[in-house]
Structure 1
Amino acid sequence: MSKSGLVIMRALSVALSFLLIAVAVVVSVRPVHAAPDADLWPDWQAHDPSSTVEIDHGDWQAVLDRYVTQHAPGVTSFDYAAASRDGGAGMVAGYVDAMTKVSVNALNRDQQFAYWVNLYNALTVKVVLDHYPVDSIRDIDISPGLFSSLLSSGPWGKKLITVEGRTLSLDDIEHRILRPIWRDARIHYVVNCASIGCPALAPEAFDADKLEAQLDQAAREFINHPRAVRINADGGFVLSSLYDWYRDDFGKSDAAFIAHLRKFAGPELTKALGDITELDIADYEYDWALNTR
């Protein structure tokens, strides 16, 4: 290599080193899982209010019945090991494949909501099973893009399925469809990320005929569990990082956020909240360990 070529190579090496240092600094100060904005893809606004078509989620319910254990209200685990060895992975894959063939645009809104939530949860389980054994879903580092493993490890950005001719990732389902169309904070309590810190994987498939009850139940069960809200020894609130990543969804002001918590709070949390109008937040926490037995 010529002398000028060596000079150029050294300059590029130095520049790359500075770039990597800059990225490392950014990573050190940003959240582990920075939340995408809710950004509607207009194509998914299509629906048929008069539709009476009902999607059968019985195959997903069969998976939940077989592999999900409820340990306490709002606390469940999924037996990935058993599903990996006894045909459960095939059951999940079969359900996901069947859902990709549904004409979603022809459904009414409630059917669509149940469809997307059940598909999201099944697809999350499928991703884990496809890479099992893993200690955390964040170990499944398949999202595309330069520095994606540094900035946001995990599978959420990977295009995994095709629905109505459009390729979709988990992020697309949550942030391009569910959040911007329905604008309901309770969505965060029903989409599962296969982690202990996440709201529980519901043992019951979501049903268009009882969505309000299911959404309220999921909100109550998470909010009243210590992994969502607890008081530390100094009297400060320790909250789930969910409330940091998606704060605006739960209420932009302290008063609005506290009102959200109060709406679903049980006696213990109601007492802890008292008549406060501002939260003394000591910390945010999240356990990314796999939600397995």
Structure 2
Amino acid sequence: MKDPAVWDQLLQRYVDGDGRVDYAGWQSRDAATLRAWLAAQTAHTEGRQEQLAHWINLYNAFTVQAVLEAYPIASIRPSLPGLPNWVGFLRFFQRPLHRLQDGCFSLAQIENQLLRQLGDPRIHFAIVCASVGCPLLRQRAYRTDAVEQQLEADLHRFIHNPAKVRFERERNILWVSRIFQWYRADFLAVSASLPGYILPRLGDGIPPCPEPQVRFLPYDWSLNQQRG
């Protein structure tokens, strides 16, 4: 079962235009709806577009489900008694807790073994780890017949968000999200450099010469939630 209609309806109900999530409302009214939809999903896909749309939807839905099960939380990197913060972080991404009809998956497995293998760095502007520093969550599900246009729109929105990317032309410094640092290899697989990937898409006048220095912005791990 790969029909994203239920996921699409939930996104429209609980995600606002700024990509913020109403976890409190979702938890109280529709946590079971999401859980049932996920339990009906399968790992089988046919074709690149279906694989992209299906696994991006599942990554984002499993992330929301993980937050709902722990909510209220301030961050996806919780402090665990007697343990450093990175332990909670690894538990969130690495443990294969997310069950489909045909097996259990971790978020890291979906990202690294299924999505990144498709060679499209635009996925990094679509998969959402529920933190403020990550891309904004869409209000609509990804669909096989529209995923290419959706990914292109995600790329445009991310690069034109000054909290994620900004270019200081006077100092010739390109400030970018740490997503570009963590997944540098994916971007360099399709471009000679990070500025070479970003600046033509940023459209901020004629690209400078020499190429700008790249600096990485602080990453905000706090939960991307609506405030009452």
TM-score tier, shorter chain, comes to: 0.7 to 0.9
Aligned partner of 2:78 among 125, 130, 139: 139
RCO comparison, higher one (Cα < 8 Å, 6+): 2
CA distance in 2 between partners of 1:95 and 1:148 (Å): 34
Aligned partner of residue 290 in structure 1, secondary structure: coil
**Which one of 88, 96, 99 corresponds to residue 38 of structure 2?**
96
Q: Is 1:112 aligned to residue 51 of structure 2?
A: yes
**Secondary structure of 2:34's match?**
helix
2:112 aligned residue (175, 193, 198):
175
Query: 1-side partners of 2:178 and 2:88: how far apart?
Result: 15
Q: Give the conservation status (yes or no) of the 8 Å contact 2:75–2:131.
A: yes
TM-score normalised to structure 2 length? 0.87
| C-alpha separation in 1, matches of 2:55 and 2:190 | 29
CA drift of 1:187 comes to 0.7
Task: Report deviation, 1:253.
Answer: 9.7
Kindly report structure 1 stretches of 4+ aligned residues shifted beyond 3 Å: 147-152, 162-166, 231-235, 252-256
Deviation at 1:219? 0.1
Structure 1 residues without counterparts, runs of 5 or longer: 1-53, 142-146
* Structure 2 Cα separation of the partners of residues 103 and 245 of structure 1: 26
Q: In the comparison of the two structures, how many residue pairs are matched? A: 222
Which protein shows a greater Rg? 1
Q: Within 5 Å, which residues of 2 pair with 1:205-220?
A: 205-220=141-156
How far apart are 1:161 and its partner, in Å?
Answer: 2.4
Query: Match of 2:222, SS?
Result: coil
Write the letter of the residue equivalent to 1:274.
Answer: P
- CA–CA separation in structure 2 for the residues paired with 1:119 and 1:94: 13
Residue of structure 2 aligned with 1:228, choices 150, 153, 164: 164
8 Å contact from structure 2 (residues 75, 221) kept in 1: yes
Q: Aligned partner of 2:9: which letter?
A: A
Which among 176, 180, 204 is matched to residue 239 of structure 1? Answer: 176
* CA drift at 1:158: 1.2
Worse overlay, 59-68 or 163-172? 163-172
How far residue 111 of structure 1 moved from its aligned partner, in angstroms, is 1.6
1:249 is the counterpart of 2:186: yes
Point out where structure 2 has 5 or more consecutive residues left out of the alignment: none
